Structures are given as structure tokens and as C-alpha cells.
Chain A
Amino acid sequence: DAGVTQSPTHLIKTRGQQVTLRCSPKSGHDTVSWYQQALGQGPQFIFQYYEEEERQRGNFPDRFSGHQFPNYSSELNVNALLLGDSALYLCASSMGQLNTEAFFGQGTRLTVV
């Protein structure tokens, strides 16, 4: 079992650009959540996808959007990048809406210059 995989592991973008991050959930998991972890802080919830729909959303602007595909993989898109978007982006997967445990990927380190 490969666990939760995220790609790419690192990337550098320029202010104003757009970025797409990808996540493949753990085998058997159908729910994907995204978190932003700024340097020296705890992760903050961005949104969650289940059955290809956004089910919950944290306090993030509309520049942050996502998608879930029929195979349960997910993408996080960020438009009009700001310097403050530099962070580690973590994907977590879980099984159904009743399971209490989430498994995290290793994250994508985004640097905006």
C-alpha cells in the first residue's frame, strides 16, 4: 500500500501565477482533505472532498479551489499566488464520512517568489 501520495514534492512559483497540486489517497479511501501549514505553525484546514463534491471549507479565499476525480484523487488549485501562500500543503485521506482517522501525505512545499 503506497499510502497517500502527493506531487510534486517541491515547487517554486512567481507571484501572480497559478499552481496545481495533486493527491492520490490511500487505497480504499474516498475522502480527501487539504491543509496548509505555514512555517512554524500548525496545519490549517482548506477544504474536504467527498463524492467529487466540496463538503467542508475552511477560512480560505476563493483563490483556493479543488477537484476530486472519480478515482478519488484530488487537485488543489491556487490562483493569483501571493508571497503568503508559501507553505507546506498537506493532503489527508480517510474512508467514508464516519471514519475518524485521516492519513497524511508527505506534502508539497510551495515557495512563492
Chain B
Amino acid sequence: AQSVTQLGSHVSVSEGALVLLRCNYSSSVPPYLFWYVQYPNQGLQLLLKYTSAATLVKGINGFEAEFKKSETSFHLTKPSAHMSDAAEYFCAVSRSGGYNKLIFGAGTRLAVHP
């Protein structure tokens, strides 16, 4: 079975500060891992994905994440927060080997204040 735990349902940072959103996964098979962002009243947009290549993955809008197998983690970071980063972020896991159903975490709402 696969599962995702996102630590912290709400994270608040100042504009220009480091963004760190935590994600831990559980998987009995090699996982694929994803981070999605959801703006109000919109669908999900893929930020980045890990599919067993490089462990440090760079995505859109300056975000990156590092796959750490020993810690079963896939934390999302951005060096400098921007007001436009305020949104809901979801970590997801799937089985490797092509597209399979995504198992999502409960999400982390990121607030960015001036």
C-alpha cells in the first residue's frame, strides 16, 4: 500500500524567505513522487516529479525537491518566496512504471505575507 503524509496543514512565510513544505511517503514498491499546486477554484498544476532519475528535481517557478529514500521524504523547497506562491500544495505518490493512480496527501496551505 502507498500513502503520503504532509507535515503542517498551514505554513506561513514572509516574502523573500525560504519555503519548505514537508512530505513523507510510504511505499512497498519503488515510487514515483509528485508535487502539485492548486490555486483557488482551479485544478491541479504539476510543479515537479521524481521518476527514479536524479534525486534532486527542479520544477517550475523556482521550486525543487529532493528524493531521500533513507528518510522516505520528498520535501519541496524554494529559496525565496513570492506573493504569487500563496496556494495549496499537494504531494502525491504512485507506483513506478508509467501512469498509475495518484495517492495524495492532505495538502499544505502556504501563506506569504509582506
Contact = CB atoms under 8 A, between A and B. Distances in A.
Contacts, number: 65
**Interface size, A (range):** 20 to 34
Interface string B49-78: 101000000000000000000000000000
Interface string A88-107: 00101010111111111111
Contacts of B49: 100-101
A90 B43 contact: yes
Interface string A63-97: 00000000000000000000000000010101011
Nearest to A50: B99
Contacts of B103: 45
B44 A104 contact: yes
Interface residues of B, number: 25
Interface string B79-101: 00000000000101010011111
A44 B43 contact: no
A98 B32 CA distance: 13
Interface of A: 4, 31, 33, 35, 40-45, 48, 56, 58, 90, 92, 94, 96-107
Q: Which 3 A-B pairs have the closest CB atoms?
A: A42-B104, A104-B43, A45-B101
